[in-house]
């Protein structure tokens, strides 16, 4: 999601990873509006919806993911949107021009980022979260509380322990039903997670388990077929477990490793996960997993919206949440896995780089 594009600050050209000329100059044949319908790993061919059959020596599957849909009564009404593509954002932007009451289903990062744009645009915003706190799946209670307070201070109404059971309206959504409660809404945005697009790989006989299963070289279970991005389930040697990540950094870094290995390289994908989220004027940058820690160390001032929380396990850094603190984020990436003195880490007078030695 480009918050700047959703808010209208940036044009579409800022959203694309590369301009069309980049691909033209490198003889890359980009075919948009075409769907791959089948992969024949024996013949090493790919069939498309345009009727073409393309041969390959090496194949990369980067099918990404799609939003989970609210399959409940009234879910087909106009005015209910999901956010994944440029067309999705365009639809939300257009609806925001006339909307008054925006209801966001899901209190994760996507939902809260959209909430920040809608609230800053002067709309009445309600966030509905089925768990007991927002961001429950991805961060600690303290960070959830910080962002809960941030949004409510901007006029956002957050309802936790709330499950959406249906939508009401004549052709267009007018209300969101939560049990015996009805909430006015002329624009609804669903942000309840994603589903990896693994069907194509599965049909081709490629191993799938919570994503397309790849090794540390981005190779699938079938020779000469690689995969990268949201659709993959990959091993992380640094964390010591398999992951399926939904982030831009993972997609880009994993793709670079896959491309190198498809060209005969021997690169291993071993990166500490990191992510970011822009809400209002705050940039949250995250390293690792806060859930891996057993100790929290606060550095900075929460009241000033400029701080970092370091998560330690047995004295070693295993995660960082940095709010408007890019230096803490950058050094935090380097501190990952290192033993640190919590007192020095918390002391604002301590030069963080001194903890690297």
The domain spans of the chain are 58-63+195-262, 69-192, 274-356
65 has pLDDT over 90: yes
Query: Span 200-206, mean pLDDT?
Result: 99
What does the pLDDT look like over 238-255, one tens digit per residue? 999 999 999 999 999 999
DSSP string, 277-331: EEETTEEEEEEE-GGG-SEEEEEEEGGGTEEEEEEEETTEEEEEEEES-HHHHHH
Q: What are phi and psi of 255, to 5 degrees?
A: -65, -40
pLDDT attached to residue 212 = 99
The DSSP call for residue 152 is: H
pLDDT at 17: 86
Residue 37 has pLDDT above 70, yes or no: yes
C-alpha dihedral over 308, 309, 310, 312, to 10 degrees? 180
Distance, CA of 124 to CA of 308 (rounded, Å): 30
**Structure tokens belonging to residue 163:** 């499950």
Q: What is the mean pLDDT of residues 91-102?
A: 96
Q: Are 72 and 83 in contact (CB under 8 A)?
A: no
Return the number of other C-beta atoms located less than 10 Å from residue 120's C-beta. Answer: 16
Q: Looking at residue 8, what is its pLDDT?
A: 84
The answer for 68, left when phi > 0, alpha when psi is -120 to 50, beta otherwise, is: beta
Looking at 3.50.50.60, 3.40.50.10420, 3.40.50.300, 3.30.390.30, the CATH number of the domain 274-356 comes to: 3.30.390.30
Distance, CA of 241 to CA of 315 (rounded, Å):
20
Whether the CA torsion 306, 312, 315, 318 is positive or negative: it is negative
For residue 1, pLDDT over 70 is answered with no
Q: Is the CB of residue 188 less than 8 Å from the CB of residue 80?
A: yes
| Separation of alpha carbons 271 and 273, rounded Å | 6
Query: How many CB atoms within 10 Å of residue 35?
Result: 10
Please write the tens of the pLDDT for every residue from 152-186: 999 999 999 999 999 999 999 999 999 999 999 99
Least Cα distance to 299 among 287, 308, 311, 288 occurs for 308
CA 336 to chain centre: 21
CATH architecture of the domain formed by 69-192: 3-Layer(bba) Sandwich (3.50)
User: What's the whole-number average pLDDT of the chain?
Assistant: 96
Degrees, nearest 5: CA angle 132-317-273: 70
Q: Give residue 3's pLDDT.
A: 76
Same CATH topology for 58-63+195-262 and 69-192: the answer is: yes
Question: Among residues 230, 243, 347, 341, which one has the least CA distance to residue 288?
Answer: 243
Lowest mean pLDDT among 4-8, 106-110, 151-155, 285-289: 4-8
Question: So what's the architecture of 58-63+195-262 in CATH?
Answer: 3-Layer(bba) Sandwich (3.50)
Q: pLDDT for 274-292, tens place per residue?
A: 999 999 999 999 999 999 9
């Amino acid at each position: 999601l480009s918050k700047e594009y959703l808010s209208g600050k940036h044009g579409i050209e800022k959203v694309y990873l590369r301009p069309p000329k980049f691909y033209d100059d490198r003889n890359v044949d980009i075919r948009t509006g075409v769907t791959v319908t089948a992969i024949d790993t024996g013949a090493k061919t790919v069939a498309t919806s345009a009727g073409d059959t393309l041969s390959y020596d090496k194949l990369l599957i980067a099918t990404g993911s799609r939003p989970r849909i609210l399959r409940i009564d009234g879910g087909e009404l106009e005015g209910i949107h999901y956010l994944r593509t440029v067309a999705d954002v365009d639809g939300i932007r257009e609806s925001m021009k006339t909307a008054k009451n925006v209801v966001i289903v899901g209190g994760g990062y996507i939902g809260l980022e959209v909430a920040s744009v809608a609230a800053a645009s002067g709309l009445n915003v309600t966030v509905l979260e089925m768990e007991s706190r927002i961001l429950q799946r991805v961060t600690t209670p303290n960070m959830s509380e910080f962002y809960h307070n941030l949004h409510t201070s901007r006029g956002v109404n957050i309802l936790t322990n709330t499950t959406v059971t249906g939508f009401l309206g004549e052709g267009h959504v007018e209300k969101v039903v939560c049990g015996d409660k009805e909430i006015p809404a002329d624009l609804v945005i669903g942000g309840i997670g994603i589903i990896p697009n693994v069907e194509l790989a599965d049909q081709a006989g490629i191993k799938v388990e919570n994503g397309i299963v790849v090794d540390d070289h981005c190779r699938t279970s079938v020779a000469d077929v690689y995969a990268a991005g949201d659709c993959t389930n990959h091993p992380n040697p640094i964390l010591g477990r398999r992951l399926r990540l939904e982030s831009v950094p993972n997609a880009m870094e994993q793709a670079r490793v896959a491309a190198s290995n498809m060209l005969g390289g021997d690169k291993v994908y071993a990166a500490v996960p990191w992510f970011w989220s822009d809400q209002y004027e705050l940039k949250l940058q995250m390293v690792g997993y806060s859930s891996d820690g057993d100790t929290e160390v606060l550095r900075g001032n929460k009241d000033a919206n400029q701080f970092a929380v370091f998560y330690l396990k047995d004295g070693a850094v295993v995660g960082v949440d940095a709010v408007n603190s890019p230096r803490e984020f950058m050094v935090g990436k380097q501190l990952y896995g290192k033993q640190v003195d919590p007192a020095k880490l918390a002391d604002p007078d301590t030069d963080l780089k001194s903890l690297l030695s």
